[in-house]
Each structure stands twice: as structure tokens, then as C-alpha cells.
Structure 1
């Protein structure tokens, strides 16, 4: 019976509850409350940490694409990330111009496709540049011709390659282009109410500034959602290069061309003798017969060698590396003064 409250205890509890409720609802109390607005039509699928990770990934993508387009088009191109948003697919459809260039590609899963959208202003500037022009867009947007569609396929391939590279430090994805369209009627990748991630970029090329965007349905990102964290991003970004990366870099460097040159010798010549030089005169060098000659790779002394002939051409046979020669000098007895 000790668990049964007395009438006084019940009255005290009701009074305390009424006081607390009155304090909460009293507008004259001066208390402030934080009210969070929740849009049931546009629920947020990504946390703030995931959005920040997506921003870092696509900031890297913007830098990669700037370099790629500048090199390919031989014109200064600047791609800048302007935002990462969550919205419905219907809102994305209503935001793009018509016509525009829509590149349909698969992303991180087979659950759905994504869209790389390039505004007409930039698309036609790129096409004009690829055809040898100065990058002047047409007076008004129009449908792509078959030749222009083929040219934009190349650009889309480069852009998707860089997109995969930007994501590679976090997850291995291979964006694959499926088709190119100019109308949203033939580019339905999701239902109107489905949520999508929309990444927008500003592109500056040949005096023209326009927009580009990447639209990915949330369902296509679900397999990799757990890896979208700043902690994993920084961990992947700061880890050392793997053996595969080292081999890939080495394979790229194998074809690099380097200049090798041999110094036969040098001489100090008075100005009077120099001004009086004629054909047939002999300049005595400071190199002795049989002495090893230094071999330079670019501007760095790397080896010593003996001169000779290889067929009908002059050649040099490498006898030792510069480091070995320095080791020989280090082993010399330098305690006695040079006389």
C-alpha cells in the first residue's frame, strides 16, 4: 500500500504540472523556443556531414575538369562549384532550359541513371572551339546536329572520367555514358517526386559564362551513403600512394623524353685570343686523354663515362654514377694539408 499516493501528493503533482505547463505556454514569460521547419515534400536525405563531403568531392571535380577542358580546348576554362542541393526530380526538370544538352550516365549502382546537364551557352561554345572557331555561341539555342552530338560525346566522356577520378579517393565508381539528349521528355531517370542530389557549377570559357549540373537520384547513391563522411574523405585523401598508383605513375613516366648531354671539357681563353680566333685554330681543353666525362640528364650531373663510337655516331659508355664518384672522394684521406 506504500505505492498508493495520498490526496496531498496528488494535489502537489497536479499543481507542479500546471505551473510547468503554464510557464511553457505563457507568452509574457519572455522564453524563446527554437522551431525547426520540416518540409515533408522535400525531406533531407543527407546529413550536414554528408553534404560537406559531397561539396569537397565536387570541388575537386571542378579543379580536374578545369584542367582537362583547358588542355583539350586550348583555351582557359574555369569551372567553379556553386552548390550542392537536395530537391525533387520535378523541381530539377523545371529548372533546366529547353533545349539543353543532357548526358545520361550510370553512376554508382545499377538502380538508376544520372544526368550531366550542360547549358547551351557552354555547349555551343565548346563545339565552336573544337571546330577551330574562337568559341562564339549561336544567336539562339537549337537542336544538336549529328556531328555536334558526336563532339559533345567526347566532352561528356572527358567530364565523366574526371567525375570518377574525383570520387576515387572515397569510393570506386566508373560513370558510363549511355545517351545524349536535348529534351527532358526523353531523359526520365526518376519519378517526379523522387529526391535527387543536384550539384551545380559555373563554367567560364572564351568570355562566355553559363551553368552545368550533375543530377543523381538518391536511390543511385544509397549503396555508398555510409561512406559519405568527412572523416573517410580526409583519411582517403591523406593516405600514401598505393602500389597500383605508383605503377600507374611509373608507366606514364616511361614515355617521357629527357635530354642527355656530355661535357667534353672547358678552357679559359683571354679576350684577345678569343677575338682573334679563326677557322683551324685549336683550343686546348682541361680534359686529359682517357679521363671520364660527366653525363648530364637535363641539367643534373648523373653519371661519368668514356667517349667512343657506336657505328657511325659518337657515343659514351657509362662507367659509374655520380654518387659512386662522390663516395670515392669521401674515402680519401683529407687530414693532411694540400701542398
Structure 2
């Protein structure tokens, strides 16, 4: 006998299936692959210092609406700091290269994405990472490769002439070490420029010649602050070569101290160290050119034209007379020349001017040395 299912029975049958599926969706069976249960989510543990961590990893809150850029006022402060840095480091580099060096900023610091910054760098080039503890993270120093190779040649005894385009090549590991050693004063000058905000201890770490391998940031759209400089090296005949130099700070590196980048704090009357203190603290390793003028006299042009090898020059200066000690271009001391072993020596007797016997006089001399950038090595000359 044929059986028929009524409409009420069909509704009851489908209604039970839908309720079972809904219950299963609401209460999924735990332990299935790819699913996360409440037991799998561990609560962050907070230690005595108030630092939260989960499974050994530090947990930090993140505000997706946070503005991850510096303000215009903070950028102006960075501009003033790095302008001071350029003025102090240019002469210091000139002393190391025994050349006249002028270093100037190229516009204000720029806030761009990490991808944009990498796109502006030539390939190959000279890139050196450096850390700034206690700040967490890494910054990078970019140096024009032509300028870097010329610096290496100059330090190793050459003229330091500019390299032709066809001769540009990545620096070797030894050349990178030479550049880092010459640029050691750069880190100290940078520290002096930042000291009113944070006293970090900068140190070079590794070098790269290909920008793609730099990996300064994990994301191409992360914000970095790039500060560009122009370096001009001259000799007695004029400009020898020009090159670019830039420093790149990831925003995340400066974020903890961003609130301290205030012009009133850095350049106000209540600021901390003076310029002299910064020179002393940040540029202690810079060598000031010094010479001792043993004798000084005049020579007739006729005697000069008749001079031959083996002639003896006589001077009216007494050997017991004090010699003039010149630092940079400033005559500072009277000294007594002598010898110590195989080396010439000068014992400082007094200031040339009795009114100059104060520590501030030596601070002024130090500042003048940085501004002059005479590029002379430490020698003792006879005139």
C-alpha cells in the first residue's frame, strides 16, 4: 500500500535537521585541525617590571589610528641639529683627509617611505648600518661610492682624485673598514648634535653595497626620516670632488624620543651643555693641527736667487729664545724646544698674551680649529 507524507511531517523533518546544523555551528567540536579554541589563547603574563609577555615574547599594545610621523616642529628641530652636525663634521673630515672639506645640508629632513628611500639610492653604493643604544633599532649612513673610494685612496697615501664612472665598483671588505675608521668622527659629531635630546653611543655594525639587501625596515611603506648632505672636497687648486652623504632613521627608532624634539628644549636659555661642552664631549678624538715656529727672519731676494745646495742660513734668533706654538691658525703658547729620545718636544712655558690665561681661551681655539678645517697633520715645522 502506497504511503504518503503529509505537509506537517515534512516541516517537522526539515526543521529538526536545521536545528541540529545550527547547534553544531554554534558549538563546534574542539580539537579539529585549523581551529582555535579558547584554551589555545594564553593570557599575557606581567613580570615585576610591568612588562607583559606571552610564550617568552614581549606583548605591546598597538594603536592602528596612531599618527606615525613627526610634526613640522619636530622636523625643524632635526634640521637645526643636523645643520650644526654638518658644520662641525666638515672640518673634522678635512683634518682626516688633509684637505679642505665643506659639508652642507640639502634641504630639510624628509619623511618618506622606506621603499622610496631605497629607490633613491644608486646601485652599487656604500651603506653602513649603525646602532644608537639605548635607542632600539638601526640607522644607516649612505656615502656616495665615488666619494668613499676617493677617501680610501687618500687615507692610503694617494691624492684622492675622483673615480671615473666606468671605474666605479663595490668597495671591498678592507675598503669598507677604512671608510668606517675615517667616519668614526662622524658618529661622535652626530652624538654631540643629539646630546641635548638623548646621549646615545653610536657604533658601526655592518656594511652593504646593494640597497635591496639593506633591510632597514620590514615593510616598504614604513616611514623613515632621511637627512641629505652635500660634501665638497677641495685642495689648493680648487674643488677636487663632490659627493652625497645621507643619514636615514626609521621612525620607529625615533618614536620613543619624539616628544623631546622641541626647539625650546634644544636651543632655549635653559638648555644643558654649551657648544664648547659638546665639542669636548663629542669630538675629543679630533686631532688639532699644531706647529712650533722655532725661528723667524727675513731673507733678501738676491740671497734667495743665489742660494745653492749646501749653503748655511744664519738667523738672528737666539736658540734660548722661546718658540711660538701655533694651534690651527692661532698663536697660543710660548714654548721651550727640546728633544726626548728621537723625538722633538716643546715644553709649554706660558700663554702668548697674559690676558688669555683662561680655559675659555682654549675652548675658543678648539672651536676655531673646527671652523678653519686647515687639513694639516700634526707636525713641527721650522720657519
Query: 1:241 Cα deviation (Å)?
Result: 5.4
TM-score, scaled to structure 2 = 0.52
Give the equivalent residue in structure 2 for 1:20: none
Deviations 1:289-310 (A, max 9, x none): xxxxxxx7233459xxxxxxxx
**3-state DSSP of counterpart to 1:69:** helix
Give the equivalent residue in structure 2 for 1:170: 197
Query: 1:51 Cα deviation (Å)?
Result: 0.8
User: Is the Cα contact below 8 Å between 2:196 and 2:273 reproduced in 1?
Assistant: no
Give the equivalent residue in structure 1 for 2:352: 299
CA RMSD of aligned residues (A): 3.3
CA distance in 1, matches of 2:130, 2:75: 22
User: Is the Cα contact below 8 Å between 2:191 and 2:202 reproduced in 1?
Assistant: yes
The answer as to 2:98 corresponding to 1:74 is yes
Deviations 1:209-248 (A, max 9, x none): 1211001100000111010011111137854659x98997
Give the equivalent residue in structure 2 for 1:148: 175
Deviations 1:116-149 (A, max 9, x none): 0001121112112112222213223101123312
TM-score, scaled to structure 1 = 0.58
User: Is the Cα contact below 8 Å between 1:258 and 1:297 reproduced in 2?
Assistant: no
CA distance in 1, matches of 2:102, 2:261: 26
**3-state DSSP of counterpart to 1:87:** strand
User: Is the Cα contact below 8 Å between 1:169 and 1:237 reproduced in 2?
Assistant: no
The answer as to 2:147 corresponding to 1:119 is no
- Change over 3 Å in CA distance of 1:122–1:258 after alignment to 2: closer
| Runs of 4+ with >4 A deviation | 236-242, 244-249
Give the equivalent residue in structure 2 for 1:224: 257
- Change over 3 Å in CA distance of 1:235–1:93 after alignment to 2: same
Query: 1:110 Cα deviation (Å)?
Result: 5.0
User: Is the Cα contact below 8 Å between 1:50 and 1:229 reproduced in 2?
Assistant: yes
- Name which of 74, 93, 108 aligns with 1:50: 74
The answer as to 2:119 corresponding to 1:94 is yes
- Change over 3 Å in CA distance of 1:50–1:130 after alignment to 2: same
User: Is the Cα contact below 8 Å between 2:130 and 2:139 reproduced in 1?
Assistant: yes
Give the equivalent residue in structure 2 for 1:235: 268
User: Is the Cα contact below 8 Å between 1:99 and 1:183 reproduced in 2?
Assistant: yes
Query: 1:48 Cα deviation (Å)?
Result: 1.4
Query: 1:150 Cα deviation (Å)?
Result: 1.8
Deviations 1:264-322 (A, max 9, x none): xxxxxxxxxxxxxxxxxxxxxxxxxxxxxxxx7233459xxxxxxxxxxxxxxxxxxxx
The answer as to 2:154 corresponding to 1:129 is yes
User: Is the Cα contact below 8 Å between 1:109 and 1:220 reproduced in 2?
Assistant: no
User: Is the Cα contact below 8 Å between 2:131 and 2:205 reproduced in 1?
Assistant: yes
User: Is the Cα contact below 8 Å between 1:128 and 1:137 reproduced in 2?
Assistant: no
User: Is the Cα contact below 8 Å between 2:89 and 2:186 reproduced in 1?
Assistant: yes
1:175-214 residue pairs with structure 2 within 5 A? 175-190=202-217, 191-206=219-234, 207-214=240-247
The answer as to 2:87 corresponding to 1:63 is yes
Query: 1:176 Cα deviation (Å)?
Result: 1.6
- Change over 3 Å in CA distance of 1:168–1:152 after alignment to 2: same
CA distance in 1, matches of 2:172, 2:146: 16
Select between 195-204 and 144-153 the one with higher mean Cα deviation.
Answer: 144-153
Kindly name which structure, 1 or 2, has the bigger radius of gyration based on alpha carbons. Answer: 1
The answer as to 2:185 corresponding to 1:158 is yes
CA distance in 2, matches of 1:258, 1:53: 39
Give the equivalent residue in structure 1 for 2:128: 103
5+ residue gaps, structure 2, are 1-66, 235-239, 293-348, 356-383
User: Is the Cα contact below 8 Å between 1:108 and 1:223 reproduced in 2?
Assistant: no
Give the equivalent residue in structure 1 for 2:163: 138
**3-state DSSP of counterpart to 2:267:** helix
**3-state DSSP of counterpart to 2:196:** coil
